[in-house]
Amino acid sequence: MPQSVLVLNGPNLNLLGSREPEIYGRETLADIAALCRDAGKRLGLAIDFRQSNSEAELVGWIQEARGKKAGILINAGALTHTSISLLDALLASELPVLEVHLSNLFRREDFRHHSYVSRAARGMICGLGSQGYVLALEAMARIVGEAPATPSKAKPKTPPKGKRTK
């Protein structure tokens, strides 16, 4: 069975494609879900793609993901800039988290320059539109394919003579 990645989308992202195309592009959230599922097939990941306008629902989904999902990719929408509850839930999940934003937060208003989500994230992609989701899934595939967290007991290799450092 392929490992499953939870792709979460926060408030108002269900409106994509209908308004503000100059900022968020013309794709709908359903288009982005399809892109993610295609990328998932190519990368051997099952994609569980969800959106909610409710902070509580998002927190609940993150809590349920612990021990069941391989990682979380999140575009928390405006909650990115306000929600310590989402941050705490992401930290408690103990899962690798990647953060994505369609727009370039740093070309926008000052209040979008700070992200609580980033404190829980391995990395963040912003400003690349829907392509950012695909790039983040590629990164996630590498992260979840990494060696297990338990450190190897194998002895470190001794460097060949003449190449030793003091």
Q: Which residues are catalytic?
A: 24, 101
Check if the beta carbon of residue 41 is closer than 8 Å to that of residue 69. no
**112 touching ligand CA2, by CB under 6 A:** yes
Q: Assess 77 for contact with ligand CA2 (CB under 6 A).
A: yes
Which residues in the 24-63 window bind ligand CA2 by CB under 6 A?
24
CB of 19 to ligand CA2, least distance (A): 4
Binding ligand CA2 by CB under 6 A: which of 13, 65, 140, 144?
Answer: 13
Q: Is 136 in the site for ligand CA2 (CB under 6 A)?
A: no
| Nearer of residues 13 and 39 to ligand CA2, judged by Cβ | 13
- Is 12 one of the binding residues for ligand CA2 (CB under 6 A)? yes
User: What is the full DSSP assignment across 57-114?
Assistant: HHHHHHHHHTTT-SEEEEE-GGGGGT-HHHHHHHHHHTS-EEEEESS-GGGS-GGGS-
Residue from 52, 75, 83, 130 binding ligand CA2 (CB under 6 A) = 75
Rounded CA-CA distance 69/19 in Å is: 33
User: How far apart, in whole angstroms, are the C-alpha atoms of residue 40 and residue 34?
Assistant: 10
Does position 5 interact with ligand CA2 (CB under 6 A)? The reply is no
Contact 51, 73 (CB under 8 A): no
Please name which of 164, 144, 151 lies closest in space to residue 70, comparing C-alpha atoms: 144
Taking the least distance from each CB to ligand CA2, the nearer of 30 and 78 is: 78
Q: Residue 80, interface with ligand CA2 (CB under 6 A)?
A: yes
Q: Does 102 bind ligand CA2 (CB under 6 A)?
A: yes
Tokens of 91: 């930290």
Distance from C-alpha of 58 to C-alpha of 44, rounded to nearest angstrom: 25
- Give the interface with ligand CA2 as residue ranges (CB under 6 A): 12-13, 15-16, 18-20, 24, 75, 77-78, 80, 101-103, 112
